[in-house]
Chain A
Amino acid sequence: MIDVFQNDAFRFFLLFNMLVALGMYVVYSTGQLSLGQAGFAAVGAYAGSYVDVKLGWPLVPVLLAAAAAAALVAIPVAFGANRVRGLYLVMGTLAVTEVVRVSLSNLDAVGGIQGIHGMEPSGVLEMAVVLALAIGGVAWLMASPLGLEMRAIFDDEDAAAAAGVSTRTVKIIAVVAGAALTGIAGALFARYLSFIRPDLFGIGLSFSIALYVLIGGVHSLAGPLVGAFLITYLLEVLNRMQQFGLPPVLDFASPWRFAIYGGLVMAVMAVRPEGLLTRGAVRSLLAPLRRRVRRLRASAHAAATPARLWTAGEGAALEVVGVGHRFGGLVALEDVAFTIRPAEIVALLGANGAGKTTLINVVAGRLPLQRGSLRLARTSLGLLPAHRRTRLGVSRTFQSVRVFGHLTVGENVRLGLRAARDRARLPLGWLIELTGAPPEALARDLTLVSQRRVEIARAVASSPLVLLLDEPSAGMNERERGELAQIIRSLRDLGIAVVLVDHNVDLALGIADRIVVLDFGLVIAEGVPDAIRRDERVRAAYLGTMGRSA
């Protein structure tokens, strides 16, 4: 079973598979499941071989040329990938593999369907060095803030945008980087064989690479590497069953090995649908992490209340003027106007369908501004996309909790911190305390209420001037609501202007400084809680639901 490693060719292809799996990992870490990797490998292989054979370049320039060529081809693909989602993306990238292969087959300048011969040979050593460097590079990338953004996009692209991540740019970077890496692998492959042909880089290769990543596990760098290793090793070992001196009845294993592999694939997906190495499994193997966690916890306990972010001056934090929005023929908002100042809590009340969430979405930038104007302090928000507004200081939470499940509590919060830009940063320890959860826990493992607090902490982490909370108390019991009210008040004390939408009227009336009541998209009342309680129009709209707990 070990002597299979003595085969030089086996060693090479094993490392090659690991490198291309790594390339796909970079792309897929943003949730873009690319079946176009074989196409990028082909481009890299051809570019590298061309400059090798026709221009006589040495190894390193050859590899750089391969990476550049693959990256260049990847750019239009990356832009196209931004326009499509889900399975459409998968099929589109599959199309890329086939189109590249056929195009190369027709390019007689690079040998067409017959391929290119005569590259300088490279061996296992070069591949091993490149792989080691690649692993180091990708590890650094994923541990960096950019890597955090990539992984957030995987979990929830919209929430990532709301958290201030420039999702379009990050996704493009991922595709291009992954392609470059795969292109280098392709060039080394060509050099090992001293020969390439277009059909060596077909759809089958793209699928194989996808399997390495999906079976190995996509939530850690080790997953794809392990997946590639195990699958390549398994197929080769099964190929040699006769040589192990096992009883002849097992001889069938060799020709049937692909069927056996298929069966194992089904079994793995049934038992571990997210792949062999889930993030939890990998983390539990890494003891150093625990030490870091203890350090973080310690700092959390030492957290004091942070200094004010904003002072309640005369200027408004947010001005909403004449905002209107329609969905087709349905008018959701009609001439809505209100202002909110720093260190103020404004509650938005109204029946279901009154337009509250729509208003939040318009302010946050998730819906386009069709009519009216929005100003944050003195900046007009109207044309800016959601992630830019977050970076300027408008944060929001969602009606159904959207945290990044595969990221830890700490990472969720740190992502929010990125959007703070040049504003004063809130201390990480205090923010973690705000979540009420251990910083190293995976967000998906928390209760709904805890997740909500994580989401709020993430939104607050960007030091916003305006915080839009959409139904934060949903699912909370009385004690939890009390804690929530405390938190919101402390946010106000920091100077944040909080816009609160919630069905729990008692909560809203209890902590709000002012109330704005919407009905059928129109503002029907505005004022202090006591006044609103007595307002006839509000009573009529709500039909006596005032004062009743939700």
Chain B
Amino acid sequence: MTELAQTLLNGLLLGANYALLALSYTLVFGVLRLLTLAHGQIFMAAGLVALVAADRQGLPLIVTGLVAIVVGASLGVATDLFAFRPVGLGRPIAAAVATIGFALVIENTALQLRGSSTAVALREPLPAPDLVLGPFLLSTVQLFILAIAAVVMVATNAFVDRSRWGMAMRALAESPRLLPLLGIPVGRITVLTLAISGALAGLASFLVALRNGSVSPLAGTDIGLVGLAIMTIGGLGSLPGAMVAGIGLGIVEAFASSIGVGTFQSAVPWLLLVLILLVRPHGILGKPE
């Protein structure tokens, strides 16, 4: 029973990070109807820069987190500037390919400047003992991560649903051609969307780094693809779908790992994707176009 509960907790933790990353993809797709394949690399770069800075300058925890968020947001905006804007909003495939190019640039810059070795820092982020809550063995770090992830997810949803900018973003998703006619600055909305999306990716990276104390420059591609898979499973453009799918995948992966599925572990998100698509061709909460 304890093991079951523990596995569930691990899954929740893993899922929370996945959900954050999937949210970052979904924001961009949901609002701009554009796919970005660079978010995996943004995730990696934000965490890498933050950890290297923390290691060299001895930054406190909060500042490290902020560095990750800021780097993430900046790279998000850079995606808009270098990949989306030159291509224009009406050409989704070309825009996606451009983001592949951008991802290559980020990854190789990181490799050339940093080497292929993992960056390590944040060895003892929160010097507090582990908590025992009933059947769960919870470290303060894990609690911290869960709390932050939950708060951010709720906040993002609230922002999109209730704020004025959020409304503008949703309007853009519905009718991209109408907004300029109403005098609403489309450019600013896209920048804001990409900035928030990049910040989410950076935050997710920071939270993962909190748990492991490391970021590998090679991690970008794999995590990026998993993020895409989760967004697809949850239903393209659906924020609640991304969160449900992210947490769901985390739990499924945790159970798979505890049973021991060998090489199939890395195929879990993809098998899940195929199964879900067969039953619901638009993802769990997605809507047909």
Contacts and interface: CB of A to CB of B under 8 A. Distances in A.
Nearest to A113: B263
Interface stretch (B136-144, B163-171, B271-279): B271-279
Given A211-B97, A266-B98, A203 B225 contact: yes
Nearest to B91: A273
Contacts of B270: 94-95, 98-99
Interface string A58-94: 0000000000000000000000100111111001101
A258 B100 CA distance: 11
Interface stretch (B80-88, B207-215, B250-258): B80-88
B70 to A, nearest CB: 22
A265 B98 contact: yes
B281 A263 contact: no
Contacts of A105: 263
Contacts of A98: 266-267, 270
Interface of B is mostly: helix
B102 A266 contact: yes
A218 B67 CA distance: 41
Contacts of A259: 104-105, 108-109, 112
Contacts of B286: 88
Given A33-B93, A102-B266, A269-B87, A86 B289 contact: yes
A255 interface: yes
B232 A91 contact: yes
A123 B22 CA distance: 45
A84 B274 CA distance: 11
A358 to B, nearest CB: 18
Contacts of B105: 259, 262-263, 266
B83 to A, nearest CB: 6
Contacts of B44: none
B35 A87 contact: yes
Contacts of B94: 214, 269, 273-274
Nearest to A261: B104
Interface residues of B, number: 45
A106 B264 contact: yes
B100 A211 contact: yes
Contact of B282 (A88, A96, A102, A207): A88
Given A87-B35, A102-B267, A269-B95, A262 B103 contact: yes
Contacts of A84: 277, 281
A102 B95 CA distance: 30
Contacts of B282: 88
Contact of A80 (B97, B101, B102, B278): B278
Given A86-B289, A265-B97, A266-B83, A95 B274 contact: yes
Contacts of A338: none
A91 B108 contact: no
B104 A265 contact: yes
B108 A262 contact: yes
Contacts of B274: 80, 92, 95-96, 99
Interface string A306-336: 0000000000000000000000000000000
Interface string B110-145: 001000000000000000000000000000000000
A258 B236 contact: no
Given A80-B278, A88-B236, A256-B108, A269 B97 contact: yes
A1 interface: no
B229 interface: yes
- Best-buried of A95, A203, A204 by chain B (most CB within 10 Å): A95
Interface in B58-84: 82-83
A106 B229 CA distance: 23
A88 B93 contact: no
A264 interface: yes
Interface string A92-116: 1011101101110110000001000
A270 interface: yes
A434 B132 CA distance: 81
Interface in A6-43: 33
B271 A95 contact: yes
A80 B95 contact: no
User: Top 3 nearest A-B pairs by Cβ distance?
Assistant: A262-B104, A265-B101, A270-B86
21 contacts: A33-B93, A80-B274, A91-B277, A94-B228, A95-B229, A95-B270, A99-B267, A99-B274, A103-B267, A211-B100, A214-B93, A215-B97, A259-B104, A262-B101, A263-B105, A264-B101, A269-B83, A269-B95, A269-B98, A270-B98, A273-B87
Given A266-B86, A266-B102, A269-B94, 20 more contacts: A33-B93, A84-B277, A86-B289, A88-B232, A88-B236, A91-B228, A95-B229, A95-B270, A95-B273, A102-B264, A103-B267, A207-B100, A214-B93, A256-B108, A258-B104, A258-B108, A261-B101, A261-B104, A262-B101, A265-B101
